[in-house]
Amino acid sequence: MSRSPGFSLLELMVVMAIVSLVAAVAIPSLMLSRLTANESAAADACRVISEAEAAFAKGHGGQYADLEGLLRAGLLGGGLARGYSFSAGDVAGSDTDGAPPESYGFIATPAAGHGRHVFAVGPDGTVRYQQAAPGFSLPPGIRPGDPVGNAGGSRE
């Protein structure tokens, strides 16, 4: 009996099982990598905003601006971080309020599915955890107001 070329049903089922297993392992890792990349971009955007505010204040008698003022002054480009929106607000862990021209505070909030943490930056230039995004928690040992990159979570 001659066998026709091609795959048997059993061989196809084995291949599908292997592909499904690889996908089940790889997809969660890819999703976590995407969230981490978005969070890094948001923290970097907070640093860029802080540098733009310092440059603005240097040229405007120590007065700060809102985001629109920084954009008009050419100190910021559009699209700070994919999946995050930026707004003025009080920064946890600092005594600054978010009110230009004497002070500033900007909050980076993720859209659903784009990040696990809300970040903030104020006049001291320190990017801080503001809170966890809905459905997530802050890293172990971290509280709102702790600086990003402070693994121990202690404030000195």
Distance CA 17, CA 117 (A): 36
pTM above 0.95, yes or no: no
Write the CB contacts of 19 (distance below 8 Å, at least 6 apart in sequence): none
Output DSSP code: residue 84.
Answer: E
pLDDT of amino acid 19: 93
Q: How far is CA 52 from CA 57, 60, 76, 145, in A?
A: 9, 12, 7, 22
Beta strands at 106-110 and 117-121: parallel, antiparallel or unpaired? antiparallel
Answer left, alpha or beta for residue 151, where phi above 0 means left and psi between -120 and 50 means alpha.
alpha
Distance CA 106, CA 87 (A): 5
**Tens of pLDDT along the chain (156 residues)?**
566 778 888 989 999 999 999 988 888 888 889 999 999 999 999 999 999 999 999 999 999 999 999 999 999 987 788 899 999 989 988 876 667 888 999 999 999 989 999 999 999 999 999 999 999 999 999 999 999 985 544 444
pLDDT of amino acid 44: 94
pLDDT of amino acid 116: 95
Residue pair 150/143 in contact by the 8 Å Cβ criterion: no
pLDDT of amino acid 6: 82
Residue pair 93/73 in contact by the 8 Å Cβ criterion: no
Backbone angles phi, psi at 78, to 5 degrees: -75, 165
Ranges of each domain in the chain: 9-132
Write the CB contacts of 104 (distance below 8 Å, at least 6 apart in sequence): 53, 64, 65, 66, 88, 96, 98, 122, 123
